[in-house]
Amino acid sequence: MAQVILDKVNKVYPNGFHAVKDADFVIEDKEFLVLLGPSGCGKTTTLRMIAGLEDITEGTIKIDQKVVNDVEPKDRDIAMVFQNYALYPHMTVYDNMAFGLKLRKTPKDEIERRVRNAAKILGIDHLLDRKPKQLSGGQRQRVALGRAIVRDPKVFLFDEPLSNLDAKLRVQMRAELKKLQKRLEATVAYVTHDQVEAMTMADKIVIMNEGVIQQVGGAFDVYNNPANIFVAGFIGTPPMNFLNVKVTRDNGIWFKAEGISIKVPEDKVSLLENYIDKDIIFGVRPEDIYDKNFFEGADESNILNTMVDVVEPLGSETLLHLTINGQSMTAKVSPQTRAESGQNFEVAIDLKMIHAFDKETEQAIF
């Protein structure tokens, strides 16, 4: 069992900067949890507090029901893998992987067994005699992983471990890491600012901004039911479109603005009771906007007449950068779509997929 609980954890650095504010979440046993957010949001600080490399200003961290606030990093039974791998350049791969076990006075034959086993799992058993500088980036990454695996820790902590790899290798290692985690039944906390990495690997995502947790949920959850404008705009590429509209009542409830008229589906109407005649933010993802001609059921409730700014064909799909009376919008449409910059273009919106946000609090209405 390895469960990690953060209870109202705060970090105020000595210079007074409040980097993490009331962080509350649980990493369940065998769970792959990703801390996701833009640069500087407090992800690494949070991870380092779990590792014991950073003091906790307020709150508690428990590992397996035991408060570890004052437990030394070496006694927490965790292994951390860093972005820069932190390998010892003068040692062989074998010695790099064995180093932590030697420090712990593990018997020699036990070290040998664990290093060879981890090397085999990672496919680096033929590299054990090499020095780090004789390895590729991906191989170094595996050695850093191997060094964590041989420790057989309760919890693995990863700080952007794939960010130094090229795009192709990153995609490959992403899948390998996830498989490895399942095979080892490891409990993992993984820091990244890459939302695709988070979505593809995580059982649970903790989204942070400016030191504050914005939402905790599965990939499906944070994509489909974002808690606020920050999460809605951070998850998904290209990001969700946000348009300023007014909620009006006229034979049903509508979102209206100059050139915009969208009918709110019946099942959402009651949620807008307190917003009639008020301004809100209407959200729709690029993938939920269609060429009118390819959308079944296109009618006056869901069609927008836009102006095409730029057409970006990507092969499997085409991105259209559109404007409606000065408000910008991106649509991800079928490559069969014929649209030209400078021309009018009618799109249909999938009303089942629309979002609405309170303009003041930026929290989701739906």
Q: In the chain, what is the straight-line distance between the N-terminal and C-terminal CA atoms, in Å?
A: 37
Is 37 or 236 the residue whose CB approaches ligand ATP more closely?
37
Residue 13 engages ligand ATP in binding (rule: CB under 6 A) = yes
The Cα 336–Cα 350 span in angstroms is 19
Residue 51 engages ligand ATP in binding (rule: CB under 6 A) = no
Is 49 or 364 the residue whose CB approaches ligand ATP more closely?
49
Minimal distance in Å, beta carbon 11 to ligand ATP? 8
Structural tokens at position 65:
């029901």
Residue 38 CB neighbours (<10 A): 13
Minimal distance in Å, beta carbon 127 to ligand ATP? 29
Q: 3-state SS of the chain: helix, strand, coil percent to 5?
A: 30, 35, 35
Residue 8: half-sphere exposure toward Cβ, Cα within 13 Å: 2
Residue 96 engages ligand ATP in binding (rule: CB under 6 A) = no
Residue 238 engages ligand ATP in binding (rule: CB under 6 A) = no
Instruction: Tell which one of 19, 213, 229, 243 touches ligand ATP (CB under 6 A).
Output: 19
The Cα 248–Cα 263 span in angstroms is 10
What binding mask, one character per residue, do residues 165-204 give for ligand ATP by CB under 6 A, x or -?
----------------------------x-----------
Interface with ligand ATP by CB under 6 A: which range of 43-51, 112-120, 245-253, 336-344? 43-51
Residue 40 engages ligand ATP in binding (rule: CB under 6 A) = yes
Minimal distance in Å, beta carbon 88 to ligand ATP? 23
Instruction: Tell which one of 1, 39, 65, 72 touches ligand ATP (CB under 6 A).
Output: 39
Instruction: Tell which one of 6, 21, 43, 311 touches ligand ATP (CB under 6 A).
Output: 43
Instruction: Count residues binding ligand ATP (CB under 6 A).
Output: 13
Residue 42 engages ligand ATP in binding (rule: CB under 6 A) = yes
Residue 15 engages ligand ATP in binding (rule: CB under 6 A) = yes
Is 202 or 262 the residue whose CB approaches ligand ATP more closely?
202
The Cα 183–Cα 120 span in angstroms is 13
What binding mask, one character per residue, do residues 325-344 give for ligand ATP by CB under 6 A, x or -?
--------------------
Is 138 or 211 the residue whose CB approaches ligand ATP more closely?
211
Q: Map tokens 């942070």 to a residue.
A: 208
Is 196 or 298 the residue whose CB approaches ligand ATP more closely?
196
Residue 226 engages ligand ATP in binding (rule: CB under 6 A) = no
Residue 18 engages ligand ATP in binding (rule: CB under 6 A) = no
Residue 44 engages ligand ATP in binding (rule: CB under 6 A) = yes
**Residues 6 or more apart from 42 whose CB is under 8 A from it?**
11, 19, 20, 21, 23, 208, 210, 211
- Residue 324 β-bridge partners: 327
Residue 161 engages ligand ATP in binding (rule: CB under 6 A) = no
Residue 21 engages ligand ATP in binding (rule: CB under 6 A) = no
Interface with ligand ATP by CB under 6 A: which range of 40-48, 172-180, 248-256, 265-273? 40-48
Q: For the CA atoms of the chain, what is the radius of gyration? A: 25
Print the SS3 string covering 199-227.
Answer: HHHCCEEEEEECCEEEEEECHHHHHHCCC
Q: How far is CA 352 from CA 263, 264, 288, in A?
A: 11, 9, 9
DSSP state of 270: G
Exposure class string for 241-274: b at 16+ Cβ within 10 A, else e: bbbebbbeeeeebbbebeebbbbbbeebeeebee
3 state DSSP class of 177: helix
Per CB under 6 A, residues contacting ligand ATP are 13, 15, 17, 19, 37, 39-45, 193
